Amino acid sequence: MTEHRLPYVLTAAGVVALLGALAMVFLYAPQDAVQGPVQRIFYLHVSAAIAGFACFAIVVVASATHLVRPGAASDRLAHAAAQVGLVMLTVNISMGIVWAKPIWGWDPSQTWDARFTTTVVLWLIYAGYLLVRKFASPGWQASRLAAVVGIFGFIDVPIVYFSVQWWRTLHPSLRAGNGQPALPFAMLLTFGVTVVATLILTAALVSIRYSIEQQAEEQEGRATNASLELAR
Amino acid sequence: MARKDLRSEWRGRELLPALATFVVLALLIANFAFDLNGASVPRLAPGILWLVLVFVGLVAFGRSFAGEKDRGSLEAMLLTPAPAGALFAGKAAAAGLVLLATEAVLLLGMALFFGAPLSAAIVAISVAASLGIAALGSLFAALAAQTRAKELLLPVLVLPLWLPFVVLGGRALQEAFAGQAVSPEPSLLLLDLGVLFWIAAVLAARFVLDD
């Protein structure tokens, strides 16, 4: 029974944590001296990216587990995590665009920023992952083909992460040149809380997706059994 | 395995002439689309090269596994005692050689039509990039061939993963076409990545080809 309650507990915790994080973002964190209120996008923008990466890491681990020791649970987890990761990445990208507009005077034709581009590529890779699941025949084939895509696709995550160092980019680094954090303590604390809140929310979403997949499979199994009964 | 594919390609003479024609046509289209002249060639030539190469690659790798799947000979091959990884390596090597042959046509065509320079560095960079492109292309072609979407899925899956090769190779070729001295690092990195992806793809082949 505890298994069924997990999504509810996580969702409640996620909502509370995220409300707290939002309060900190808007009420506690100091105003950025240069950028003004727009800078407050930063907290959720980066948290969503971290949550997305975490989801794709789950995809890799679950996929590898599934290939070595096939089982429905690892496959379901990989599928759920990929879907939620894609949502988080969408949040990250769209917030980034909103932020970039006033700060960089964003014009995609002129600023194909390295981190933006590689993130879009990551989005496309895991969109492809979901397409493989859609187009492969369900069952062992879909799960193992998707697992291979999920594992290979993760190559792009370190590329996104290091893109700020490898190419010239407009994305700031979280560390100043001397290795010290580039943010004052109040901002760092707000950031940390937002990251944790987003991760709890992500876990809630993954667990909900997981139970939906599980129920869909059970439903399908029941339908197949019913049609077998009829055939008899 | 590679020998069998190359022999059937040689006997059938299907793919290569078609790809060579495709390359020439693509170059003609590029000529009209970009209105090329002596001044713009060094700047645009690397971009054209990668575009054509990537699309030729999609066709070449797509064919290599789609044909086997249509004839049902993939299942027959998997019944032989040869490990799936070896079968895959053979097919990928053959498809890679077809890509290299197409590349030769492409580079010669660019030299002939656009007066683009043809140097050892340019050849080395494109060969180094083809290694990884062939490994990933074959793996995902094998994967896509088993799904209902077939050809539709291959570009969606493989183009994002080919991007690092295009980025690295594109930067290096830009220098080479501009007549600057080319540092060997990008080509070596391309080679490293290529070897890495070959190993990863051969390891993953077991799961992709398993039916």
Least confidently predicted of A150-164, A203-217, B78-92, B161-175:
B78-92
List the single residue in A67, A145, A151 with the smallest CB-CB distance to B147: A145
What pLDDT shows up at residue A1? 46
What pLDDT shows up at residue B65? 77
Tokens of B105: 């046509």
DSSP structure string for A40-58: GHHHHHHHHHHHHHHHHHH
User: A with B: how many residue pairs have Cβ under 8 Å apart?
Assistant: 65
CB contact under 8 A, A148 and B200: no
Give the three-class secondary structure for A205: helix
Q: What is the pLDDT of residues B56-71, one digit of tens each?
A: 888 888 887 777 766 6
- C-alpha distance from B24 to closest chain A C-alpha (Å): 29
Give CA–CA dist B108/A76, Å, rounded. 50
What pLDDT shows up at residue B27? 86
> With contacts defined as CB-CB under 8 Å, which chain B residues touch A145?
143, 146-147, 207-208
Q: What is the pLDDT of residues B17-43, one digit of tens each?
A: 888 888 888 888 888 888 777 677 777
Does residue B125 carry a pLDDT above 70?
yes
Distance of alpha carbon B203 from the chain centroid? 20
A78 Cβ under 8 Å from any chain B Cβ: no
Contact A182, A175 (CB under 8 A): yes
What pLDDT shows up at residue A27? 85
Q: Which amino acid does the sequence have at A120?
A: V
Phi first, then psi, for residue A175 (nearest 5°) are -110, 140
Does residue B169 carry a pLDDT above 80?
yes
Tokens of B87: 């079968």
Where is B82: in which H helix or E strand? none
For A151, which residue in chain B has the nearest alpha carbon?
B204
Contact B173, B49 (CB under 8 A): yes
Nearest to B103 by CA among B186, B20, B197, B9: B20
Query: Per-residue pLDDT for chain A (232 aa), expressed as one digit of tens each?
Result: 456 788 888 889 989 988 988 888 888 888 777 777 778 888 889 999 999 999 999 999 999 998 888 888 888 999 999 999 999 999 998 888 888 877 776 665 556 677 888 888 899 999 999 998 888 877 777 888 888 888 988 888 888 887 777 766 667 666 555 555 667 788 888 888 899 999 999 999 999 999 888 888 888 877 777 776 776 6
Domain ranges for chain A, please list them: 6-26+38-168+181-220
Cβ count within 10 A of residue A12: 12
A144 Cβ under 8 Å from any chain B Cβ: yes
